[in-house]
């Protein structure tokens, strides 16, 4: 498999290592200093592109890949209000697009468990729910895409919850937990965002009643698990057409 890496930060370098370990070729590397090379000429012969950049550039990067007939795997968060446009373009062009807010296998198992637990809590009643996500200070978006996916899964299965709210979205680099700036509306799931140190990612879903607290938590120990998941997704996507997610990958595992 000949791959392009779009975004050569810590994740991009880890993806390159895993591609090599698994017998693939990182044939093209695109970063800020050569972004102009993301074009049809340089993408010629590329089987799949792995895109981990910024919310400001992700849409353009992925669109270019689709228009050039290159399958795209993306894990960039903070821009997905336009994801539907690219999914539709992909279908129109007969292309291939794989998107996930988190490529860690354990996180995606947590997504499933989270939906099932929300449905069970809905039947039992008496609990309120909140989410906390903790990441390194270099993470540019808040709340995390993973936290949003968790919140959406809860809202789909827990009556009375219509969405989520990040009560202090302007404070992205607090040394400690972001202080509550008021109460979350009753029909919204509160997401607390914490930015400190070099934490790869911790997500905690908490259900609390008057009598007890129930939590599910996932902790990423290093970026390798994310990069490995992205490369496995690229292997899965290679040669296919259509729009895919981690649910599709797990169903075919």
Q: What is the pLDDT of residues 29-54, one digit of tens each?
A: 999 999 999 999 999 999 999 999 99
- Domain co-membership, 185 together with 208: yes
Task: Compute the 3-state secondary structure of the chain and give helix, strand, coil in percent, each to the nearest 5.
Answer: 40, 25, 35
Asked if residue 61 belongs to a known ligand binding site, the reply is no
Asked if residue 100 belongs to a known ligand binding site, the reply is yes
- Domain co-membership, 161 together with 172: yes
Q: 229 φ, ψ to 5°?
A: -60, -40
Say whether pLDDT at 167 is over 80. no
- Domain co-membership, 210 together with 110: yes
Cβ(11)–Cβ(226) under 8 Å? yes
pLDDT value of residue 175: 39
Asked if residue 125 belongs to a known ligand binding site, the reply is no
- Domain co-membership, 60 together with 86: yes
Q: Which domain holds residue 228?
A: 2-103+224-251
What does pTM read for this prediction? 0.77
pLDDT value of residue 174: 42
Asked if residue 212 belongs to a known ligand binding site, the reply is no
Count structural domains, the chain: 2
pLDDT value of residue 179: 42
Residues acting as catalytic residues = 135, 139
């Amino acid at each position: 498999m000949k791959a392009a890496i779009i975004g050569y930060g810590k994740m991009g370098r880890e993806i390159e290592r895993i591609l090599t370990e698994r017998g693939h070729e990182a044939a093209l590397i695109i970063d800020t200093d050569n972004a102009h090379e993301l074009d049809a000429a340089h993408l010629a012969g590329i089987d799949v592109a792995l895109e981990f950049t910024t919310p400001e550039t992700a849409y353009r990067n992925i669109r270019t890949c689709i228009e050039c007939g290159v399958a795209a795997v993306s894990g960039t968060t903070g821009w997905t209000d336009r994801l539907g446009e690219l999914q539709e373009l992909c279908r129109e062009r007969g292309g291939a697009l794989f998107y996930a807010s988190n490529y860690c296998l354990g996180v995606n198992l947590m997504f499933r468990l989270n939906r099932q637990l929300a449905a069970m809590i809905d039947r039992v009643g008496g609990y309120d729910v909140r989410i906390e996500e903790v990441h390194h200070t270099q993470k540019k978006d808040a709340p995390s895409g993973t936290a949003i996916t968790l919140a959406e899964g809860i809202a789909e299965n827990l009556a009375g919850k219509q969405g989520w709210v990040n009560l202090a979205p302007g404070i992205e680099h607090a040394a400690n937990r972001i202080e509550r700036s008021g109460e979350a509306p009753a029909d919204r799931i509160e997401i607390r965002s914490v930015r400190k140190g070099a934490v790869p990612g911790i997500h905690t879903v908490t259900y609390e009643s008057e009598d007890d607290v129930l939590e599910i938590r996932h902790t990423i120990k290093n970026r390798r698990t994310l990069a490995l998941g992205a490369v496995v997704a690229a292997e899965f996507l290679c040669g296919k057409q259509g729009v895919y997610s981690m649910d599709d990958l797990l169903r075919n595992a």
